[in-house]
């Protein structure tokens, strides 16, 4: 049986010790399963961040897309796997590759209030914090529009502001972040935005 097939099986069955043995034989980490997933992305889908970190350390490609448009870096961001996101950043994460919604790793992290992941990406030099996805939303807009309001998402908004996001960049209809916050009656978020210089056109 080929080492790559063994690797997928071991990830599926949770045999971490054998994964280390398989890696010692230098398998091709870029071979994919029928869904187009590399072993690294498959491990992340299985919520096995320990194995994912091991694979990244052995040179697995953090930018390889599967059939639904996920890469390890994008998926780790969306799931809030901060340690994996950090490892991806150290191993060549490509900021110009986007998910099937045209988004970055930061946008779903902000929406889902994965605060530590948001802090990490927002503070990463060169990361496109104001990237606009196919819906016409930045991470800031998505955190406001699809978020859960003041108690859950105010810290996320604060982290994005601290990272230097544009607090006045509107959606494709011209509605500003502050206007959305006011419409939704998010007082804490609105106050954070106003303090950062946000305005309603």
The reply to whether 115 and 88 lie within a common domain is no
Residue tagged 């994919």 (tokens): 32
CB 60 within 8 A of CB 72: yes
Determine the pLDDT at residue 98.
Answer: 98
- Reference 171, options 186, 157, 181, 160; nearest CA is 181
Write out the DSSP string of 71-132.
-HHHHHHHHT-HHHHHHHHHTT--TT---TTS--SHHHHHHTT-HHHHHHHHTSTT--TT--
The reply to whether 76 and 110 lie within a common domain is no
Q: Which domain does 151 fall in, by range?
A: 106-201
- Reported as a single tens digit per residue, the pLDDT across 140-199 is 999 999 999 999 999 999 999 999 999 999 999 999 999 999 999 999 999 999 999 999
State pTM to two decimals: 0.94
The reply to whether 133 and 44 lie within a common domain is no
The reply to whether 192 and 125 lie within a common domain is yes
The band of 4, judged by pLDDT with boundaries at 50, 70 and 90, is very low
Determine the pLDDT at residue 1.
Answer: 37
| Last residue of one domain, picked from the residues 79, 97, 115 | 97
- Secondary structure (3-state) at 13: helix
Query: The domain that contains 157 carries what CATH number?
Result: 1.25.40.20
The reply to whether 131 and 185 lie within a common domain is yes
Cα angle 35, 19, 4; round to 5: 40
| Last residue of one domain, picked from the residues 97, 125, 149 | 97
CB 95 within 8 A of CB 63: no
Determine the pLDDT at residue 2.
Answer: 43
Distances (CA, A) of 37 to 64, 96, 140: 8, 20, 30
| Last residue of one domain, picked from the residues 97, 117, 133 | 97
Q: Work out how many domains the chain is built from and give that number.
A: 2
CB 72 within 8 A of CB 80: no
């Amino acid at each position: 049986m080929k080492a790559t097939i063994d690797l997928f099986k071991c990830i599926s069955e949770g045999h971490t010790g054998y994964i280390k043995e398989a890696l010692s034989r230098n398998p091709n980490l870029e071979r994919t399963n029928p869904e187009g997933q590399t072993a690294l992305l498959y491990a992340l889908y299985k919520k096995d961040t320990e194995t994912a970190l091991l694979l990244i350390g052995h040179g697995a490609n953090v930018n390889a897309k599967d059939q639904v448009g996920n890469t390890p870096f994008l998926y780790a961001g969306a799931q809030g796997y901060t340690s994996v996101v950090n490892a991806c950043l150290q191993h060549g994460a490509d900021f110009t590759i986007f998910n099937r919604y045209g988004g970055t790793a930061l946008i779903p992290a902000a929406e889902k209030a994965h605060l530590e992941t948001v802090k990490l990406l927002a503070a990463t030099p060169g990361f496109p914090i104001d990237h606009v996805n196919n819906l016409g939303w930045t991470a800031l807009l998505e955190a406001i529009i699809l978020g859960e309001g003041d108690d859950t998402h105010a810290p996320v908004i604060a982290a994005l502001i601290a990272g230097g996001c544009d607090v006045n960049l509107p959606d494709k209809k011209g509605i500003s972040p502050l206007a959305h916050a006011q419409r939704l009656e998010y007082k804490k978020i609105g106050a954070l935005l106003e303090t950062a210089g946000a305005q309603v056109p």
